[in-house]
Structure 1
C-alpha cells in the first residue's frame, strides 16, 4: 500500500504544481491587465483548490502508512531533527505543505468576498504564489526526480 500511495502522491504533485502555476500566472497577468474576473477564472481558482486538497489528503495517508514514521519511536524527536532527510520527510515537508494548502484555502475564501476583479486577482496571486513557493521549497527534489 505504501508504494502505491507514494506513487500517486508523486504523480499528483506534478498536477498540483502545473495547475497552481497556471492559476498564479493567470491571476498576475489579468490583474496587471485590468481584465474582468469571469467564470473561467473562478473555475481555475476552484480547481486549484480542489487539486491541492486532494494532494493534502493523499499526503496525510502517505504519512501514516510510511515506514519512516517509525523513526520517531526509534530515534525520538531529537534524533529525527538531527538527521536532515528524516527531518525533511517527517517534519518540514508535511508542516510547510500544510501551511501552503492553508494559505491557498485562505486566498480562495478571501477572493470570493471581494467585489472588484482586480482585488480578486490580487488575492489569488498573492496567496497562491506564496503557497506555490512554499510547496516548491519542501519538495524532496533529489528523491522525486531521481
Structure 2
C-alpha cells in the first residue's frame, strides 16, 4: 500500500504544480490586461482547487501510513533535518498551501468586479505557489 500511495502522491504533485502555475499566470495575465473574468478563469481556479485537495488527501493518507512517530520521539524528529522535513515542515506548509488556495477560491466567488476576482486569485494562488515551491522535496523529484 505504501509504494502505491507514494507513487500517486509523487506523480499527482506534477499535475498540481502545473495547474497551480497555470491558474496563477492566467489570473495575473487577466489582471494585467484588464480583461473580464471569464468561465475559463473560473474553471482554471476550480481545477487548481480540486487537484490540490486531492493531493492533500493523498498526503494525509500517506502520512498516516508512513509516519515515523512510532519509531522516533518528536525530539529525534526535530533534530534530523530529513525527518523534520518529511514529518513536520512539508505537511504543515502544504496544508497552508491548500488553505490559501481554498481561501482565494472562496473569496473570489463573493467579489463582483473582474479586477478584484483576478487580483484575489493572483495573490492567494501566487503565495500558495511560492510556499509550494519552497517545500517540494526537489532531491526526490530530480533524482
TM-score range relative to shorter protein = over 0.9
Matches of 2:117 and 2:138, distance apart in 1: 32
Matches of 1:8 and 1:90, distance apart in 2: 18
Matches of 1:74 and 1:49, distance apart in 2: 34
> Residue 64 of structure 2 aligns with which residue?
64
Which of 103, 119, 122 is residue 122 of structure 1 equivalent to? 119
Which of 67, 91, 97 is residue 88 of structure 2 equivalent to? 91
Whether 2:49 is the aligned partner of 1:49: answer yes
Whether 2:79 is the aligned partner of 1:82: answer yes
- Which range moves more in the overlay, 132-141 or 81-90? 132-141
Residue 143 of structure 1: CA displacement? 1.5
Matches of 2:3 and 2:39, distance apart in 1: 38
Matches of 1:65 and 1:144, distance apart in 2: 21
The RMSD of aligned alpha carbons is 0.8
Unaligned 5+ runs, structure 2: none
Q: TM-score, normalised by structure 1?
A: 0.96
Residue 145 of structure 1: CA displacement? 1.9
Aligned runs of 1:8-27 on 2, under 5 Å?
8-27=8-27
Whether 2:6 is the aligned partner of 1:6: answer yes
Residue 60 of structure 1: CA displacement? 0.5
Matches of 2:122 and 2:137, distance apart in 1: 25
Unaligned 5+ runs, structure 1: none
Matches of 1:75 and 1:6, distance apart in 2: 21
Q: TM-score, normalised by structure 2?
A: 0.97
Matches of 2:53 and 2:71, distance apart in 1: 31
What is the number of equivalent residue pairs in this alignment? Answer: 143
Matches of 2:5 and 2:43, distance apart in 1: 27
Q: Which runs of 4+ in 1 moved over 4 A?
A: none
